[in-house]
């Protein structure tokens, strides 16, 4: 019999579509197993403010189809300090909350890990970020929806690009992660993908555009990963104009990629992860994460998921190059 009776759940870092499905699964699995489940508003910041309420089965009704998170999310510099985490742990202990489920990215996971190591509060991480950039898991909640949103947008841009015989640079989210850019590039038949950490070879980009025009292409789309700072595509636009006399239009998709109804893939994986997170706590896990590996949701040590991942499969780049000639 598990000693856990009260658990809490929060979202932290950037929001991602599907977080609501994970919250719903945590609440309903927890209540189904006889636990009291609490929701913490606005991530670690809300925890420090004591913004905590008990959730019922009906509190999470009619939410799984909506993007964003009913618990809201935030970034909380205070939680980066030992003092801040001590305050958070004391608050959880005062409320007799036995364990915490954190839905967020690698930063949020690092905070959760420290809460466990410093104060022995059992924590389970559920990977939620559109960037798909957490080590130890093949998938993070929200990635599929973000890709879907970006693909829809690029398809629309392609219509106008074709009609006017134009080149477009479409900037997608993902910070240092190439995941969104690469998948969107393949799925939209982009002529080029500019990866976040790679040196940009402008002469190759210009040569690719010229080759396309010669063989009768009516448009070119370059997908640029945003990198650390939004607006990289304006630099690319300037270089192409000044060095190669190529006129390109810029479209920065921005936060539109993060919103909207989660895809069935996100709903399913988020529901499975929320469910498994509670089951792990009931089994006595103390510092774990739900991960997606070999097509299945499973439990892994949280310490394996603390690093940001920015590797990509080189065969995906080759596929894009082969198909975009």
Residues that bind ligand ADP (CB under 6 A): 12-14, 44, 75-76, 79-80, 104-108, 110-111, 114, 129
CB 14 → ligand ADP: shortest distance, Å?
5
Q: Which H, E and C letters describe 305-325, residue by residue?
A: HCCECCCCCHHHHHHHHHHCC
Q: Which of 98, 106, 131, 285 is catalytic?
A: 131
Q: Which is nearer to ligand ADP, 105 or 274 (CB)?
A: 105
131 is a catalytic site residue: yes
Q: Which residues of 142-173 are buried (b: 16+ CB within 10 A; e: fewer)?
A: bbbbbbbbbbebbeebbeebeeeebbbbbbbb
Sequence-distant (≥ 6) Cβ neighbours of residue 230 within 8 angstroms: 171, 252, 254
Residue 67 Cβ vs ligand ADP, minimum distance, rounded to whole Å: 16
CB-based burial label for 279 (10 Å; 0-12, 13-18, 19+): middle
What are the Cα distances from residue 29, in Å, to 38, 65, 71, 274, 280? 13, 18, 17, 8, 11
For ligand ADP, the nearest residue by Cβ is: 107
Q: State the minimum distance, in angstroms, from the CB of residue 283 to ligand ADP.
A: 25
CB of 81 to ligand ADP, least distance (A): 8
CA distance 237 to 222: 10
Nearer to ligand ADP, 144 or 191 (CB): 144
* Closest to 31 measured CA to CA, from 5, 53, 69: 5
In contact, 171 and 232? CB cutoff 8 Å: yes
Separation of alpha carbons 106 and 104, rounded Å: 7
End-to-end distance of the chain based on CA atoms, in angstroms?
61
Which residue matches tokens 């310490």?
303
- Closest contact distance (angstroms) between CB of 102 and ligand ADP is 8
- Residues with a catalytic annotation lie at 131
């Amino acid at each position: 019999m598990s000693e856990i009776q009260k658990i809490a759940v929060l979202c932290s870092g950037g929001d991602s579509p599907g977080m609501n499905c994970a919250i719903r699964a945590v609440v309903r699995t927890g209540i189904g197993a006889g636990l009291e489940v609490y929701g913490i508003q606005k991530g670690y910041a809300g925890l420090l403010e004591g913004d905590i309420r008990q959730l019922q089965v009906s509190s999470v009704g009619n939410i799984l189809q909506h993007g964003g998170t009913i618990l809201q999310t935030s970034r909380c510099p205070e939680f980066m300090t030992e003092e801040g985490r001590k305050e958070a742990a004391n608050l959880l202990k005062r409320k007799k909350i036995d364990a915490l489920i954190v839905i967020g990215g690698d930063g949020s996971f690092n905070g959760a890990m420290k809460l466990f190591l410093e104060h022995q509060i059992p924590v389970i991480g559920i990977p939620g970020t559109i960037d798909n950039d957490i080590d130890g898991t093949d998938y993070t909640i929200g990635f599929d929806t973000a890709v879907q949103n970006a693909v829809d947008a690029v398809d629309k841009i392609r219509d106008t690009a074709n009609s006017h015989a134009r080149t477009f640079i479409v900037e997608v989210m993902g910070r240092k992660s190439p995941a969104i850019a690469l998948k969107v590039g393949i799925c939209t038949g982009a002529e080029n993908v500019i990866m976040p950490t790679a040196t940009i070879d402008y002469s190759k980009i210009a040569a690719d555009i010229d080759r396309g025009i010669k063989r009768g292409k009516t448009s070119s789309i370059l997908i640029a990963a945003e990198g650390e700072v939004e607006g990289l595509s304006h630099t690319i636009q300037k270089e192409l104009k000044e060095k190669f006399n190529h006129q390109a239009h810029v479209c920065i998709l921005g936060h539109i990629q993060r919103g909207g109804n989660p895809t069935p893939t996100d709903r399913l994986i988020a529901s499975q992860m929320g469910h498994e997170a509670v089951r792990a706590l009931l089994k006595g896990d103390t510092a774990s994460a739900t991960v997606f590996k070999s097509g299945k949701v499973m439990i892994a040590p949280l310490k394996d998921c603390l690093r940001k991942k920015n590797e990509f499969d080189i065969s995906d780049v080759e596929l894009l190059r082969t198909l975009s000639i």
